[in-house]
């Protein structure tokens, strides 16, 4: 199980390095905390105080201080043989909102899965002398590094374990909080078993390719979400690893990625699909350039059959390659996609006036028009019923839970339960129920 975190805001690097002695750590720290408040990542004085006390640069020796204290930057610490990063210190923005989700209090027992060191130090500050923090990782090089850095920073009381967290840490007993800093496709039963009833698991969970950091509370034999945050993490290693299925559409430059149970039964139907003319459909739904519409991709993933993600190589140039044009003039498109037989559509937008974009769909295939229109109709439905909330409740159940129990889950504040508003995703160990409040007329 790996500690690498890859945030959606990792493009904040590029601060020119300088000699550490010329940098004012306290000024950088203060600016970082101010930015975390502005981003609504820090929401409490307790979490802000932790960022003020823990010296991040101790856990990133040799890294320029402006990079270490940049609010939206993850610091890479290890790469694989292909040069891909496999370990990092999470961006402060991600660490902050996950600590807020975890709601750690003095005296608690906390397990962190994925060891970088600095997050364990912050957890140790939150639990205080009366609490206990254990951090674990599958990579002995990572745990050795974490141990040395924690000791150097004065956090020798943090316990560091090397092992595959898929099986938990049974000898350690129960925890009040488990916080996972690596992207997961499923939740192993050991994690639920090692939570006290009412305890909290904070985990980046993938659901049909969409990742959300979920704050899940244990309620008997299952877990119920209390909050969800947009995030992006490198995938888990070890027994919990799950490989997505790729369907190549244009060499290795354009592909569809299927993460759960939505892979087409006959992928050959999509052979040559990109040779057809692209069809566009527009919804009339507009969003501001800085406006969040985080719930839309999750809504599309839960209601559209054949949900998947569209991946286009960053070096792809349709004019040079003579290939299909995937984006609009402004270059805007989104990975949310779905397949119906011999056609597929994906989420797109176009600029209608300065700072305002209309949401729509691009589609390819013999039945591109109805496929695009179906996606557009779901954009309109989301706009009418879920754009401004409420968010869905996500619950995690044992794999042997009966269908009728999952499809009758009450949603807080909802006077009725509609089976059409609940999507069930089967994983290896669990069944994930995504429950949207009943839409009103």
- Cite the active site residues: 90
DSSP code of 236? P
197-206, long-range: CB within 8 Å, 24+ apart, which pairs? Answer: 199/174, 199/175, 200/101, 200/102, 200/103, 200/176, 200/226, 201/177, 202/98, 202/101, 202/102, 202/177, 202/178, 203/178, 203/179, 204/180, 204/231, 204/232, 204/233, 205/394, 205/432, 206/259
CB 331 within 8 A of CB 318: no
* 179: CB partners within 8 A, 6+ apart: 98, 99, 102, 110, 111, 112, 113, 119, 123, 201, 202, 203
> Nearest-CA neighbor of 202 among 162, 231, 239?
231
Backbone angles phi, psi at 233, to 5 degrees: -130, 145
Best CA proximity match to 5, nearest among 102, 81, 77: 77
DSSP summary character for residue 63: S
What is the Cα–Cα distance from 69 to 71, expressed in whole angstroms? 6
Q: How many Å from the N-terminal Cα to the C-terminal Cα in the chain?
A: 46
- CA 262, CA 245: separation in Å to the nearest integer? 10
Element (H, E) at 361: strand 356-364
Cis amide prior to 390 (ω within 30 degrees): yes
Burial 120-157 (b: 16+ CB within 10 A, else e): bbbbbbbbeeebbbbbbbbbeebbebbbebbeebebee
- The answer to whether the CB of 179 falls within 8 A of the CB of 163 is no
Instruction: Compute the distance between CA of residue 143 and CA of residue 164 in angstroms, rounded to an integer.
Output: 12
Tokens at 397, concatenated: 């159940």
């Amino acid at each position: 199980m790996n500690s690498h975190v890859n945030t959606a805001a990792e493009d904040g690097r590029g601060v020119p390095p300088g000699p550490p002695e010329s940098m004012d750590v306290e000024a950088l720290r203060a600016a970082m905390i101010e930015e975390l408040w502005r981003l609504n990542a820090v929401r409490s004085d307790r979490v802000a105080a932790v960022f003020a006390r823990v010296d991040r640069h101790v856990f990133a020796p040799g890294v320029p201080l402006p990079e270490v204290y940049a609010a939206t930057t993850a610091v890479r610490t290890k790469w694989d043989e292909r040069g891909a990063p496999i370990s990092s210190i999470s961006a402060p923005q991600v660490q902050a909102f996950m600590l807020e989700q975890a709601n750690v209090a003095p005296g608690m027992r906390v397990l962190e899965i994925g060891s970088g060191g600095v997050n364990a130090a912050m957890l140790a500050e939150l639990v205080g002398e009366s609490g206990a923090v254990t951090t674990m990782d599958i990579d002995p090089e990572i745990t050795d590094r974490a141990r040395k850095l924690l000791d150097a920073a004065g956090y020798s009381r943090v316990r560091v374990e090397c092992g595959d967290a898929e099986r938990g840490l049974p000898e350690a007993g129960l925890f009040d909080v488990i916080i996972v800093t690596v992207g997961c496709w499923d939740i192993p039963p050991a994690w639920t078993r090692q939570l006290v009833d009412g305890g909290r698991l904070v985990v980046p969970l993938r659901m049909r390719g969409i990742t959300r950091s979920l704050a899940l509370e244990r309620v008997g034999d299952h877990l119920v979400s209390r909050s969800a945050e947009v995030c992006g993490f490198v995938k888990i290693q070890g027994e919990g690893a799950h490989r997505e299925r790729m369907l190549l559409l244009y060499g290795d430059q354009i592909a569809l990625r299927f993460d759960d149970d939505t892979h087409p039964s006959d992928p050959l139907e999509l052979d040559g699909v990109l040779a057809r003319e692209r069809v566009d459909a527009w919804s009339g739904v507009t969003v501001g350039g800085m406006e969040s519409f985080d719930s839309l991709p999750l809504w599309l993933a839960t209601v559209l059959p054949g949900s998947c993600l569209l991946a286009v190589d960053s070096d792809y140039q349709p004019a040079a390659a003579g290939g299909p044009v995937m984006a609009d003039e402004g270059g805007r498109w989104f990975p949310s996609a779905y397949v119906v037989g011999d056609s597929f559509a994906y989420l797109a937008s176009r600029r209608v006036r300065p700072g305002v974009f209309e949401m729509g769909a691009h589609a390819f295939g013999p039945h591109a028009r109805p496929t695009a229109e179906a996606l557009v109709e779901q954009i309109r439905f989301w706009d009418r019923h879920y754009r401004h909330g409420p968010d869905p409740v996500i619950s995690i159940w044992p794999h042997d839970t009966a269908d009728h129990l999952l499809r009758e889950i009450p949603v807080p504040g909802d006077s009725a339960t509609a089976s059409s508003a609940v999507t069930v995703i089967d994983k290896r160990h669990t069944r994930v129920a995504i429950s949207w409040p009943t839409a009103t007329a």
